[in-house]
A and B are shown apart, each in its own frame.
Chain A
Amino acid sequence: MNKKLIILLTLGIFLSIYLLGDISAVCCEKTEAGDICQNVASAEYCDSDYDINGNLACSSTTFCSTGTCVDRTRGECVPSTRAACNPSQGGYFYEQPIEEVTECQKVCCIVNGPDYVEKVTCNSIGSEYNIQPEIIEGISALECYSLADADVMGACVIENNLGRDCDMTTKSDCTGEFHKGLLCTAQDLGTICVPSEKTTCIEGKNEVYFKDTCGNNANIYDSSKINPINWDYWTYLKNPYEDPICNDGSGNKYSSSCGNCNYIEGSTCGLGNSADYGDYICQDIDCKEGELAEKFNDLYDNFPKNGDSWCIDSLGDVTNIRDFENAVPGQTSFRASCYMGEIQFQLGNQYRNKICFSQRTEDTKKINAVFIPNRWQDCTFQNNTADCENTDRRDCRVLEGVNMVQSEGMSKKFINSSTDKEIRASCVPKYSPGLNFWEPTLDIASQGDNQQKNTESVCQIGTSICGAAYSGEYENRVTDWEWDAYSWECAIEKDCMNKEKQGEVEDCVEGCGGSLCFGNEDSDKVPKNPNIKQSWILNSEKLCQNMGDCGAKSNYHGFIGYNIWDDLIKMIDTK
Chain B
Amino acid sequence: MFSMNNKRGQVTIFIIIAIVIVALTALVYLIAPSLGISFSSSENPKEFINTCLEEDLYLTAQKISMQGGELEPEHYLEYGNTPITYLVYSSQYGQSGALKYPLLRQQIKQEIINELNPIIQNCYSSMKTSYEEKGYSVEINSGQPNIKILPNQIFLETNYTVYLTKDERRKYENFNVVVNNNLYELLNIVINMIEFASNPNYCGIEPNLYMNVYPEIKVEEPILSNEEDSHISIVTYRKSGDKFQFAWRSCAFAPGY
Q: Does B30 contact A (CB under 8 A)?
A: no
Interface members, chain B 173-210 (any A CB < 8 Å): 191, 195, 198-199, 206-208
Is the beta-carbon distance between B91 and A344 smaller than 8 angstroms?
no
Q: Does B228 contact A (CB under 8 A)?
A: yes
Is the beta-carbon distance between A446 and B92 smaller than 8 angstroms?
yes
Chain A residues contacting B94 (CB-CB under 8 Å) are 21-22
Given A337-B208, A446-B92, A436 contacting B255 (CB threshold 8 A): yes
A89 to B212, CA, bound (A): 33
A38 to B252, CA, bound (A): 14
Chain A residues contacting B254 (CB-CB under 8 Å) are 17, 444, 446
Residue on B nearest A23 in the bound complex, by CB = B92
Is the beta-carbon distance between B198 and A79 smaller than 8 angstroms?
yes
Chain B residues contacting A37 (CB-CB under 8 Å) are 98
Q: Does A120 contact B (CB under 8 A)?
A: no
Chain A residues contacting B155 (CB-CB under 8 Å) are none
Q: When each residue 1-18 of chain A gets 1 if its CB lies under 8 Å from chain B and 0 otherwise, what string results?
A: 000000000000110011
Given A35-B86, A78-B195, A73 contacting B106 (CB threshold 8 A): yes
Chain A residues contacting B89 (CB-CB under 8 Å) are 35-36, 38
Chain B residues contacting A337 (CB-CB under 8 Å) are 207-208, 211
A18 to B257, CA, bound (A): 8
Q: Does A60 contact B (CB under 8 A)?
A: no
Q: Does B112 contact A (CB under 8 A)?
A: no
Chain-A contact segment, one of B41-49, B158-166, B219-227? B219-227
Residue on B nearest A38 in the bound complex, by CB = B91
Given A59-B95, A307-B212, A351 contacting B110 (CB threshold 8 A): no
Given A80, A344, A351, which contacts B218 in the complex, CB threshold below 8 Å?
A344
Q: When each residue 140-183 of chain B gets 1 if its CB lies under 8 Å from chain A and 0 otherwise, what string results?
A: 00000000000000000000000000000000000000000000
Is the beta-carbon distance between B253 and A351 smaller than 8 angstroms?
yes
A21 to B253, CA, bound (A): 11
Given A21-B95, A33-B74, A90 contacting B106 (CB threshold 8 A): yes
Q: Does A101 contact B (CB under 8 A)?
A: no
Interface members, chain A 1-53 (any B CB < 8 Å): 13-14, 17-18, 21-22, 24, 31-40
Q: When each residue 61-96 of chain A gets 1 if its CB lies under 8 Å from chain B and 0 otherwise, what string results?
A: 000100001010110101111001110111100000
Residue on B nearest A36 in the bound complex, by CB = B98
Chain B residues contacting A203 (CB-CB under 8 Å) are 216, 239
* Least CB distance, A343 to chain B, in whole angstroms: 12
A350 to B86, CA, bound (A): 20
Given B91, B106, B207, B238, which contacts A89 in the complex, CB threshold below 8 Å?
B106
Q: Does B4 contact A (CB under 8 A)?
A: no
Is the beta-carbon distance between A74 and B86 smaller than 8 angstroms?
no
Chain A residues contacting B212 (CB-CB under 8 Å) are 307
Is the beta-carbon distance between A351 and B255 smaller than 8 angstroms?
yes
Chain A residues contacting B229 (CB-CB under 8 Å) are 349, 353
Q: Does A346 contact B (CB under 8 A)?
A: yes
Chain A residues contacting B221 (CB-CB under 8 Å) are 346-347
Chain A residues contacting B227 (CB-CB under 8 Å) are 436, 444
Given B102, B215, B253, which contacts A84 in the complex, CB threshold below 8 Å?
B102
A538 to B103, CA, bound (A): 58
A70 to B140, CA, bound (A): 37
Given A18, A81, A345, A351, which contacts B98 in the complex, CB threshold below 8 Å?
A81
Residue on A nearest B251 in the bound complex, by CB = A373
Is the beta-carbon distance between B91 and A39 smaller than 8 angstroms?
yes
Q: When each residue 231-243 of chain B gets 1 if its CB lies under 8 Å from chain A and 0 otherwise, what string results?
A: 0000000110000
Is the beta-carbon distance between A89 and B103 smaller than 8 angstroms?
yes
Q: Does B120 contact A (CB under 8 A)?
A: no
Contacts across chains A and B counted by CB atoms under 8 Å: 166
Interface members, chain A 403-460 (any B CB < 8 Å): 433-436, 444, 446-449, 453-455, 457-458
Given A21-B92, A444-B227, A34 contacting B75 (CB threshold 8 A): yes
Q: Does A204 contact B (CB under 8 A)?
A: yes
A13 to B254, CA, bound (A): 14
Q: Does A268 contact B (CB under 8 A)?
A: yes
Chain A residues contacting B58 (CB-CB under 8 Å) are none
Which residue of B191, B195, B256 has the most chain A CB atoms within 10 A of its CB atom?
B256
Q: Does B84 contact A (CB under 8 A)?
A: no
Is the beta-carbon distance between A91 and B102 smaller than 8 angstroms?
yes
Q: Does B63 contact A (CB under 8 A)?
A: no
Residue on A nearest B106 in the bound complex, by CB = A89
Chain A residues contacting B255 (CB-CB under 8 Å) are 350-351, 434-436, 444
Given A71, A85, A263, A433, which contacts B256 in the complex, CB threshold below 8 Å?
A433
Residue on A nearest B75 in the bound complex, by CB = A33
A353 to B204, CA, bound (A): 14
Q: Does B90 contact A (CB under 8 A)?
A: yes
Q: When each residue 466-501 of chain A gets 1 if its CB lies under 8 Å from chain B and 0 otherwise, what string results?
A: 000000000000000000000000000000000000
Q: When each residue 129-164 of chain A gets 1 if its CB lies under 8 Å from chain B and 0 otherwise, what string results?
A: 000000000000000000000000000000000000
Residue on A nearest B194 in the bound complex, by CB = A78
Chain A residues contacting B101 (CB-CB under 8 Å) are 84, 86
* Least CB distance, A235 to chain B, in whole angstroms: 30
Q: Does A548 contact B (CB under 8 A)?
A: yes
Residue on B nearest A435 in the bound complex, by CB = B256
A435 to B106, CA, bound (A): 42
Q: Does A206 contact B (CB under 8 A)?
A: yes
Q: Does A189 contact B (CB under 8 A)?
A: no
A410 to B207, CA, bound (A): 49
Q: Does B100 contact A (CB under 8 A)?
A: yes
Is the beta-carbon distance between B106 and A35 smaller than 8 angstroms?
no
Given A78-B103, A86-B103, A39 contacting B92 (CB threshold 8 A): yes
A24 to B95, CA, bound (A): 13
A446 to B199, CA, bound (A): 21
Q: Does A339 contact B (CB under 8 A)?
A: yes
Is the beta-carbon distance between B220 and A35 smaller than 8 angstroms?
no
Of the A-B pairs whose beta carbons lie under 8 Å apart in the complex, a sample of 27, sorted by A's number, is A22-B93, A35-B98, A36-B99, A39-B92, A64-B98, A71-B102, A74-B103, A78-B102, A80-B99, A81-B99, A84-B98, A84-B102, A86-B101, A91-B102, A203-B239, A307-B211, A337-B208, A342-B218, A346-B207, A346-B220, A351-B255, A373-B253, A434-B256, A444-B254, A446-B92, A453-B257, A454-B256
Contacts beyond the supplied A339-B218, A351-B255, A458-B256: 17 A-B pairs with Cβ under 8 Å: A33-B74, A35-B86, A79-B99, A79-B102, A79-B199, A84-B100, A89-B110, A91-B102, A340-B218, A345-B223, A354-B253, A434-B256, A436-B255, A444-B255, A446-B228, A448-B91, A454-B256
Chain A to chain B: the 9 pairs with minimum beta-carbon distance, closest first: A89-B106, A353-B253, A80-B102, A33-B75, A78-B102, A447-B91, A36-B98, A69-B102, A37-B98
